A and B are shown apart, each in its own frame.
Chain A
Amino acid sequence: MELEFFSAAFLSALLAIILIDLVLAGDNALIIGLVARNLPKNTQNKVIFWGTFGAIAIRAAMAILVVYILNVPGFMLGGGLALVWIARKLLTPEPDAAANHLAKAPAATFAGAVRTIVIADAVMGVDNVLAIGGAAHGSILLIVLGLAISVPIIVWGSQLVIKLVDRYPSVILLGGAVLAWTAYSMIVREPMLVAWFEAHPATKLVVAILIFSISLGPWYTERLSEQMKPLVVLLPALLVWMLAFEVAASVWKVQVDYLLARDQGEYLLEGLRWMGWLPLAALFLWVREQLIQRSRRTARG
């Protein structure tokens, strides 16, 4: 799909890409510094140049690849689910985040250093490229613009990004929300599911709330009291339960709507759909309570 240049859709997709680039940018400068710190001075400059060049090249190759991959049936759904996990991970607090590096040991050779930098960038850039591919709606121009924005961030803009997110941490929350929104739009655009969503339009809302409740879980968990914390599991589980009945009804061709039910079995199924989750929720709350009490006893003893 090609978006009209400078239309609201184009500018929105560009804004989403910029936000994704900001919040999912990998710390290449630190990786390069860590890998090259034991090499001689003249080799260090070469490692910085070729490491950066390799990182940009691998990012460009992945961006081109993702455009084709997302056209394959099933990958849009897989990409959307991956983005839900990425958004959740982005919002999960990390007390000692600075200690987690992909490259801990310094390299002994030039080739080893460049290889480590390129592999680290490829690993760090997968989520970024996937999210940009989803937000670009298949527009090559937007993919190129996304790449043009992410490369300066990789090379020069790290301090600027750190200052921005340090001053305004809400940018991270907004990035998480945009990732969740992108995941939703990717899942409902999945070619294998488009017809099903057309036939079951109400499930789109269930999917949207399910995606937001999982992606933004770490955010609202922080605001919930201890008694309300089980909601973080119960709400998405209930939505999955409802969605599963809708999917099962389509697969086995049974009627789960009580207004259209034809026999006793279908009425029972409808009852199970609306009431069946209650004992499971009660069981979950009981097991959770037991585990909390056991951990308290262990801490005391």
Chain B
Amino acid sequence: MLLIHRSQRAANAVRTVSPGGELFVASVVICMIMASFGDAVDPTVLGEAGLEFALFDLGGEFSVLAMRHWHLLQLLLAGAALAAGITVLRVCSTIFYRALRPAPAGGVEKVPIKL
């Protein structure tokens, strides 16, 4: 029996995990798959086609092809950065869409427009 099974929450981690923790681990897994993608693609083939910068060098700073050399620590940091980025995007888009939502028709703040 595993030690973690002494805790009901840990034994059912896939059900009890927090959304933030889940987003972080999912981001790490995405980074791991991207690293294996970098490992699977032969850069010379892409170089001959002139595609290595067009497709895989994101913003000229970060290359998916170079991720093949990344270790777990770097993948965890990249996963944390990706999760933070997704969270910021989610918060910003929520604020944006909330601002776009029309006020209730009978609300006091509703500007009456009569033609």
A158, A166, A207: the one within 8 Å of B9 (CB)? A166
Contact stretch, chosen from B10-18, B91-99, B107-115: B10-18
Q: A90 to B13, alpha carbons, bound, how many Å?
A: 9
**Interface size range of chain A in the complex:** 35 or more
Least Cβ–Cβ distance between A246 and chain B, in angstroms: 12
B87 within 8 A of A: no
Considering the complex of A and B, which 7 residue pairs feature the smallest CB-CB distances, nearest first? A170-B21, A12-B71, A208-B36, A97-B5, A172-B13, A205-B40, A165-B10
Among candidates A15, A177, A181, A205, residue contacting B73 with C-beta atoms closer than 8 Å:
A15
B39-96 with Cβ < 8 A to chain A: 39-42, 71-76
Give the dominant DSSP class at B's interface. helix
Instruction: Name B residues whose Cβ lies closer than 8 Å to a Cβ of A.
Output: 1-18, 20-22, 24-25, 28-29, 32-33, 36-37, 39-42, 71-76
Cβ proximity bits A198-210 to B, threshold 8 Å, 1 near / 0 not? 0001111111110
Query: Which A residues lie at the B interface, using CB under 8 A?
Result: 8-9, 11-13, 15-16, 22-27, 30-31, 90-91, 93-95, 97-98, 100-102, 124, 153, 158, 161-162, 165-166, 168-174, 177-178, 180-181, 184, 188, 201-209, 212, 216, 218-219, 222
CB distance from A242 to the nearest CB of B (A): 13
B42→A201 contact, CB < 8 A = yes
Residues of B within 8 A of A94 (CB): 5, 11-12
Q: Are A174 and B25 in contact (CB under 8 A)?
A: yes
Q: Contacting B13 at CB < 8 Å: which of A124, A169, A203?
A: A169
Task: Give the Cβ gap from B17 to chain A, nearest Cβ, in Å.
Answer: 5
